[in-house]
Amino acid sequence: MTRDLCASHVRKVRGVLSALAAVLACVGLCVPSAVASDGVDWRVDGMGVRDAWASGITGKGVKVAVLDNQIVSDYPALAGADVSYKLVTEGGQPCYLETGDGSVSSEPVSTDDPTVLSSSGYMMTHGTHMVSLIAGNGSGWDGGSGIQGIASRASVIAYMLDADSKGNLGELNMPLACRTQNNESTVQTIGPSVRDAVDSGARIINMSFGYGDVSDAIFRDYMLYALRHGVVMVSGRSNGSWAGLYDLVGAPGTTDYFPGVVTVNAVDSAGNLQESSDVMDGNVSVLSPGVGVPSYRSTDSREMDLTGGGTSTAAANLSAYLALVMQRWPDATGNQILQSLIRNTKGNASGGPKLDPEHKRGFGIVDPGKLLSVDPTRYPDVNPLLEWAVKTSGEHEETKGMYEYPSPLGRNGVADTDVFSPNGERISATVEASLVGRELQRQQAAWEKVESCRADGGSDCMKYSATATADEEDGKVAGDMASDASGSSVVPSWVVPVVLAGAGVLVLAGVVLAAVLVRRMRRARDAGRAVPVGTVGGAGVPPVPYGVAPSYGGPAARSAPVAGSYPNAGAPAGYAYPPTQAGNGQVGQHVPQPPLPPRQ
């Protein structure tokens, strides 16, 4: 993400659907690097990218979807690039953009061309930055240097989720959401864009933002849809210095920590975490260049510099590296690419995934050279991050049973785990979370069938893989899920925190469960009340935005969140935490935090 809106999330009213606004908020504040001051774009020159180009690996033939805000279509770096632009809304509703004064535009945004031109006063937007990091040609305004894409021949679909308000990209910059004509509600764009990206053949979906309180519809119909089809989803963690969860267990109510999504943190050329997000976050899986990288300071900037960055940019850079890898290994599935990604990070010669025991660096720094040299088709067609989250969640008492399939919550249930972070966050999981467990079971069973076929000397055994059979699974989930959940009597440890034994176990269990559900359950949420979290927060903001529509904001710090339910803990209703976009030439502010308390 470009602007690192991650610094703070705007929390308009809890229920506002400005997912779009949230989308762009991922770019984290950054710290300039020594290499950047030398005028070297180290994410290209220091990561073996030029060697890949020299061998013909440019991303050609790989389709990448970028979900973000409006693109400045005449930005010079995009001239000649294979970029198409889309606006996809729930039910085809027209999008009327907020104007910033409480009203909306008189005309809806064109679905054929939802872009803006420099003649409107926009020289750069968060979305333009992200797309250019992937597919830019290096040209800038007035004949100067611009953003060079890592996979400049990749095919990019830029999905508009909302728009940038004009201003300094590194400071408070509120997003302008898609609204209904009467301005009564936000028009949903994130979920429909994810599904359209999958149906349009995207191999990678870049989401340089965070979105919390994901509704069951988005969860079931969009995120899981992409997961089933083996599409690699990349997002960034918050740029803030508040600690995340204790381990890699995912958070099904979010887009950036959704099980199976690659959650990225930013590093500089020396491998150091960016200062503003140098903190424990168990859900971070990979590190990528995001400090001292190409950026612009404001929406009207005509001059690029190499002192910006953040988690948004780190995510976009990773998406670009993966596009190169997919061109190099066209027969590999998205899941196999992810298997290779976490096994072949810099400095890891073990051949297997090695998770940082301090839960700050995930599986390590992406190593494009190694990924281009190791054939990923040797690995299982099973999403390793999905597998890791489900397995690890079962190893902690606080999260055990979160993804259990079938679910014990019934048709419309939702429950919170016990506290699972130093800041008091809990993970909210609806009955739909069990579909995560179901999908893992499907992928593992499919791979067993592939291996059995190979052992028997069969041919074309990959036709049995999870990715190849995804269409067969589509359409089954909703109906099967409802019947399985309603008939289930399984009670996970995180719903009933006591071990029951003896003759009255079943009766007592029912009483306890009823009491818990009376306290915790609420009606299943519908897509209409999904709450975007904004970009991945900025300095001083918890790892996942708490609340609704994010805005692209600056490095304003706030106090620690109040203990509560993850991802909406600590955000009083109606209180806005504007997300700050990454980089864009702004130096991230580091807010010192006290040492993490010991886990109880």
Looking at per-residue pLDDT, the higher value among 414 and 482 belongs to: 414
Q: CA 170, CA 29: separation in Å to the nearest integer?
A: 7
Query: Number of C-alpha atoms within 13 angstroms, CB side, residue 114?
Result: 29
Nearest CA-CA partner of 462 in 342, 378, 386, 340: 378
Looking at per-residue pLDDT, the higher value among 122 and 39 belongs to: 122
Mean pLDDT over 427-442 rounds to: 90
Q: How sure is the predictor about 134, in pLDDT bands with cuts at 50, 70 and 90?
A: very high
- Residue-level pLDDT at 432: 81
Mean pLDDT over 569-576 rounds to: 24
Between 119-133, 403-417, 490-504, 562-576, the lowest mean confidence (pLDDT) is in 562-576
Asked if pLDDT for residue 594 goes beyond 50, the answer is no
Mean pLDDT over 173-199 rounds to: 92
Between 15-24, 270-279, 409-418, 430-439, the lowest mean confidence (pLDDT) is in 15-24
Asked if pLDDT for residue 549 goes beyond 70, the answer is no
Mean pLDDT over 543-567 rounds to: 28
Q: CA 16, CA 487: separation in Å to the nearest integer?
A: 34
> Tens digits of per-residue pLDDT, 511-539?
333 333 222 223 223 333 233 223 332 22
- Residue-level pLDDT at 177: 93
Q: How sure is the predictor about 565, in pLDDT bands with cuts at 50, 70 and 90?
A: very low
Is the separation of the CB atoms in 149 and 133 below 8 Å? yes
- Residue-level pLDDT at 360: 96
> Tens digits of per-residue pLDDT, 223-279?
999 999 999 999 999 888 889 999 999 998 889 999 999 999 999 999 999 998 999
Looking at per-residue pLDDT, the higher value among 11 and 114 belongs to: 114
Is the separation of the CB atoms in 370 and 282 below 8 Å? no
Q: Using only the alpha carbons of the chain, give its radius of gyration.
A: 22
Q: What are phi and psi of 424, to 5 degrees?
A: 90, 10
Could you give the angle at which helices 434-455 and 477-487 cross, rounded to 10 degrees?
110
- Residue-level pLDDT at 155: 99
The amino acid at 514: A
Asked if pLDDT for residue 342 goes beyond 70, the answer is yes
Is the separation of the CB atoms in 249 and 273 below 8 Å? no
Asked if pLDDT for residue 149 goes beyond 80, the answer is yes
Mean pLDDT over 296-301 rounds to: 94
Q: CA 345, CA 318: separation in Å to the nearest integer?
A: 12
Q: How sure is the predictor about 217, in pLDDT bands with cuts at 50, 70 and 90?
A: low
Instruction: At 145, list the tokens.
Output: 């240097």
- Residue-level pLDDT at 304: 96
Indicate the average pLDDT of the chain: 78
> Tens digits of per-residue pLDDT, 480-496?
655 554 444 444 444 43
Say whether the peptide bond before residue 497 is cis (omega within 30 degrees of 0): no
- In terms of C-beta density within 10 A (0-12 exposed, 13-18 middle, 19 or more buried), how is residue 424 classed? middle
- Residue-level pLDDT at 211: 78
Looking at per-residue pLDDT, the higher value among 289 and 242 belongs to: 289
Which of 191-194's residues contact partners 24+ apart within 8 Å by CB, and which partners? 191/19, 191/90, 191/217, 191/218, 191/221, 191/222, 191/223, 191/527, 191/530, 192/88, 192/89, 192/90, 192/222, 193/65, 193/67, 193/86, 193/88, 193/159, 193/161, 194/67, 194/222, 194/223, 194/225, 194/226
Q: CA 362, CA 188: separation in Å to the nearest integer?
A: 32
Asked if pLDDT for residue 575 goes beyond 50, the answer is no
Share of the chain above pLDDT 90, in %: 61
Looking at per-residue pLDDT, the higher value among 562 and 347 belongs to: 347
Query: Number of C-alpha atoms within 13 angstroms, CB side, residue 457?
Result: 0
Could you say which of 312, 340, 407, 493 is catalytic?
A: 312
Q: What are phi and psi of 155, to 5 degrees?
A: -95, 125
Asked if pLDDT for residue 400 goes beyond 70, the answer is yes
Q: How sure is the predictor about 555, in pLDDT bands with cuts at 50, 70 and 90?
A: very low
One DSSP character per residue, 427-458 reads EEEEGGGHHHHHHHHHHHHHHHHHHHHHHTT-
Query: Number of C-alpha atoms within 13 angstroms, CB side, residue 102?
Result: 0
The secondary structure of the chain in percent helix, strand, coil, rounded to multiples of 5, reads 30, 15, 55
Asked if pLDDT for residue 452 goes beyond 50, the answer is yes
Secondary structure class of 203 (helix, strand, coil): coil
Mean pLDDT over 300-325 rounds to: 96
Asked if pLDDT for residue 464 goes beyond 70, the answer is yes
List, in order of start, the domains of the chain with CATH numbers: 1-592 (3.40.50.200)
Q: How sure is the predictor about 411, in pLDDT bands with cuts at 50, 70 and 90?
A: low
Q: CA 591, CA 588: separation in Å to the nearest integer?
A: 10
- Residue-level pLDDT at 480: 65
The amino acid at 358: E
> Tens digits of per-residue pLDDT, 375-396?
999 999 999 999 999 999 999 9
> Tens digits of per-residue pLDDT, 46-82?
999 999 999 999 999 999 999 999 999 999 999 999 9
Q: Are strands 145-148 and 63-69 parallel, antiparallel or unpaired?
A: unpaired
Print burial letters for 134-149: b (CB count within 10 Å at least 16), e (below 16).
Answer: bbbbbbbbeeebbbbb
Q: CA 433, CA 108: separation in Å to the nearest integer?
A: 36
194 Rama sector, left if φ>0, alpha if ψ -120 to 50, beta otherwise? alpha
One DSSP character per residue, 283-310 reads T--EEEE-EEEEE-SBTT----EEEEE-
Which pTM was predicted? 0.80
Could you say which of 68, 256, 367, 381 is catalytic?
A: 68
Mean pLDDT over 550-563 rounds to: 27
Mean pLDDT over 98-106 rounds to: 93
Mean pLDDT over 99-116 rounds to: 94
Does the annotation count 126 as an active-site position?
Answer: yes
Between 135-149, 288-302, 484-498, the lowest mean confidence (pLDDT) is in 484-498
Strand partners, 84: 157
Instruction: At 3, list the tokens.
Output: 């602007």
Q: How sure is the predictor about 504, in pLDDT bands with cuts at 50, 70 and 90?
A: very low
Q: CA 533, CA 568: separation in Å to the nearest integer?
A: 9
- Residue-level pLDDT at 96: 98
Could you say which of 41, 73, 126, 221 is catalytic?
A: 126
Is the separation of the CB atoms in 309 and 266 below 8 Å? yes
Q: CA 505, CA 511: separation in Å to the nearest integer?
A: 10
- Residue-level pLDDT at 293: 96
Q: CA 577, CA 175: separation in Å to the nearest integer?
A: 12
Asked if pLDDT for residue 184 goes beyond 90, the answer is yes
Is the separation of the CB atoms in 185 and 15 below 8 Å? no
